[in-house]
Amino acid sequence: MARLHALHSSHAALDEPFVRRIGPADLWDALVDGVDDFKAMPTHAFFIALIYPVLGLVLAGVILGYDVMPLLFPIMSGFALIGPFAAIGLYELSRLREDGEAFSWAHMTGMLRSPVIGSIVALGLLLLIIFIVWLTTAGLLYRTAFGAAEPASASDFLTQVFGTRRGWTMIVAGNLLGLVFSAVALAVSVVSFPLLLDRNVSAATAVRTSIRAVAVNPGPMALWGVIVAGALVVGFLPLFLGLAVVLPILGHATWHLYRRVVSP
């Protein structure tokens, strides 16, 4: 139990986890269970404390005139890319509740000493790289459309984006590219982090299992991606306050989706 898994381990079990077929009803059941977990273990205060300092820094950059505005939407949409790693604690809470155990900080400390912590960190870094590449791509797309000059104001930026042909071309291209990045992140992470918490497997096994889960269930997994994206949009609308509820529910629901996809 003392060894740490790297991105690939030659000691990984020969038997790959079995992936089951699911349907839309399973997605609904996972969401219902996620809401039930959130009601039993409300964590909105923690997410408010986590989200708002980050948003404050972004808004401060906009106010002070830094070139943050063109990347504001890519940063917001990036929640979907790095969310699976940020929800590690939520998966653990759902696992404990499922096993009938009460939460204690000792559980979180124990998780940090887990033999799979190396794999969890490696996958988290992979998602962070995907997020950074996405921001870089979005920045290049904006500069290709409008050049390197910063928008004079927020209204000037909105006019450029929504009031010009180049702006609408950028919106279409950006959403298509964002879809590709989201699909990649979903494929490698939809069940990989819960699997690492649940079993002593390597990161390579977890990623392969996650990709197989998407390959076996392309329709339901695409629908799950749409549900996540729609929920995040709803969470963004009321001054980002909704994220404090949406993110925990999605995190808990992802654990229950994992339970339905990967056979115990």
pLDDT in tens, 161-219: 788 888 888 888 888 998 899 899 999 999 999 999 888 888 899 999 999 999 999 99
Number of folded domains in the chain? Answer: 1
Q: Is residue 5 one of the residues assigned to a domain?
A: no
Q: Examine the pLDDT at 73 and tell me if it is beyond 80.
A: no
| Dihedral in degrees, nearest 10, Cα atoms 87, 90, 94, 99 | 110
Q: Is residue 166 one of the residues assigned to a domain?
A: yes
In angstroms, the CA 123 to CA 203 distance is 7
How high is the pLDDT of residue 236?
Answer: 76
How high is the pLDDT of residue 11?
Answer: 42
In angstroms, the CA 77 to CA 96 distance is 30
0.85 exceeded by pTM: no
In angstroms, the CA 178 to CA 162 distance is 18
Main-chain phi, psi angles of 240, to 5 degrees? 70, 0
Q: Is residue 133 one of the residues assigned to a domain?
A: yes
In angstroms, the CA 230 to CA 224 distance is 10
In angstroms, the CA 154 to CA 177 distance is 24
Q: Examine the pLDDT at 10 and tell me if it is beyond 70.
A: no
Question: Which residues on adjacent β-strands are paired with residue 262?
Answer: 19
pLDDT in tens, 77-91: 777 788 888 888 888
Q: What is the pLDDT of the chain when averaged over all its residues?
A: 80
Q: Is residue 16 one of the residues assigned to a domain?
A: no
Q: Are 130 and 184 in contact (CB under 8 A)?
A: yes
User: In terms of residue numbers, what domain contains 249?
Assistant: 24-32+40-55+66-261
How high is the pLDDT of residue 57?
Answer: 55
pLDDT in tens, 96-147: 888 777 666 666 666 666 677 888 889 989 998 998 898 889 888 888 888 7
In angstroms, the CA 88 to CA 124 distance is 10
How high is the pLDDT of residue 9?
Answer: 39
In angstroms, the CA 35 to CA 38 distance is 5
In angstroms, the CA 208 to CA 7 distance is 12
In angstroms, the CA 192 to CA 123 distance is 9
- SS3 of residue 239 by DSSP: coil
* Average pLDDT of the segment spanning 216-238: 88
- SS3 of residue 24 by DSSP: helix
Q: Is residue 61 one of the residues assigned to a domain?
A: no
153 or 31, higher pLDDT: 31
In angstroms, the CA 233 to CA 132 distance is 21
- SS3 of residue 254 by DSSP: helix
